[in-house]
Amino acid sequence: MKFNNIYIVALIITLFVGCKESQVIEEIIKSSISLEDYTLTETMSIEGYYLEIYTSKGEFQTGNNVLYFKVNKVGAEDLGSVDNMVIKPVMNMMKMNHSCPVYGLSEVGGGIYSVSIAFQMSGNDCCKWSLTIDLDIDGETKTFSKEIIVLQAEKQNITTFVANETSYIMFLVEPSAPVKGVNDINIGLFKMENMMSFAVVEDYTMTLDPQMPSMAHGSPNNENPVFDIETGLYKGVLNMTMSGYWVLNMTLTNTEDNLVKGELLTDEVNQSSLFFEIEF
Ligand SMILES: [Cu+2]
């Protein structure tokens, strides 16, 4: 369902009277998300129900992926909301299977759900990803499952490393559409609890030093990403003074003040071993 602008304005005016403004506006913004703004990427079906997954790129890639999805019943009107949803991406490798970080599952309105999945590796000939979504619908549990293609992103937007016997996964969430100048930077940091379970790592310290290698310059007025309890991501400011290829040099320090990964840049060190790449 798509509201036209006049209807939204009328709705805002009507609801403004006697309601908590910010809450109401938030609800309207949420419910105005339309799947028409995204590309249908995968369809799964079971027993007369089908589930459509939309993404902005129309494909899954290594790094952070935001999925929007909706469950429908064949030949029926919109189902509305469903319960007890569990999203399980699994990579089927020869000797062992493993999952990856999944976070931010929420209903964004109109029976549309959003979830973020950070694939740490692409699928290949030996090992493929599958995506399983369990949910309760009409009082019954349904399991949607399908093999999916995860392509290798061109630039490094996710990295895995082991330190002090802990496996970490760190990835770039924003900027997803970088611009010249100031960008919000959001970074996800998870540790592997076991092959299938990943937990948010809170309150570590990050430094950020973006550099443009081709021109041997950095940029001023960046702000190191800091943990944000609300989103579970690390949020900072990234300033890219011109378009082109940038390397975001980072360091990661734990809550005991021990360096976990990365190096600060010096005359001798011109790139950190912990980095992301952006080209725009
Ligand atoms: Cu794998």
Ligand 1 centroid to 134 CA: how many Å? 22
- Both tokens assigned to 31: 């419910």
Question: For 165-224, what is each residue's pLDDT tens digit?
Answer: 999 999 999 999 999 999 999 999 999 999 999 999 999 999 999 999 999 899 999 999
CB 24 within 8 A of CB 14: no
Question: For 236-277, what is each residue's pLDDT tens digit?
Answer: 999 999 999 999 999 999 999 999 999 999 999 999 999 999
Select the more confidently predicted residue: 8 or 40.
40
Give the Cα separation of 164 and 166 in Å (integer): 5
Ligand 1 centroid to 243 CA: how many Å? 33
Nearest to 250 by CA among 180, 166, 157: 157
What does DSSP assign to residue 153? P
Question: For 12-37, what is each residue's pLDDT tens digit?
Answer: 444 444 444 555 555 544 455 788 88
Give the Cα separation of 104 and 272 in Å (integer): 29
SS3 at position 182? strand
Ligand 1 centroid to 66 CA: how many Å? 20
CB 51 within 8 A of CB 71: yes
**Which residues neighbour 253 within 8 Å (Cβ) at sequence distance 6 or greater?**
204, 205, 206, 259, 260
Question: For 118-166, what is each residue's pLDDT tens digit?
Answer: 999 999 888 999 999 999 988 899 999 999 999 999 999 999 999 999 9
Q: pLDDT exceeding 70 applies to what percent of the chain? A: 88
What confidence score (pLDDT) does residue 17 get? 47
Tell me the whole-structure pTM to 2 decimals.
0.87
Ligand 1 centroid to 70 CA: how many Å? 27
Nearest to 91 by CA among 64, 124, 59, 128: 128
Ligand 1 centroid to 23 CA: how many Å? 41
Ligand 1 centroid to 121 CA: how many Å? 6
Q: Which domains does the chain show, CATH number per domain?
A: 35-151 (2.60.40.10), 158-279 (2.60.40)
Ligand 1 centroid to 100 CA: how many Å? 9
Ligand 1 centroid to 41 CA: how many Å? 21
Mean pLDDT of the 104-117 span: 92
Owner of token pair 């559409």: 177
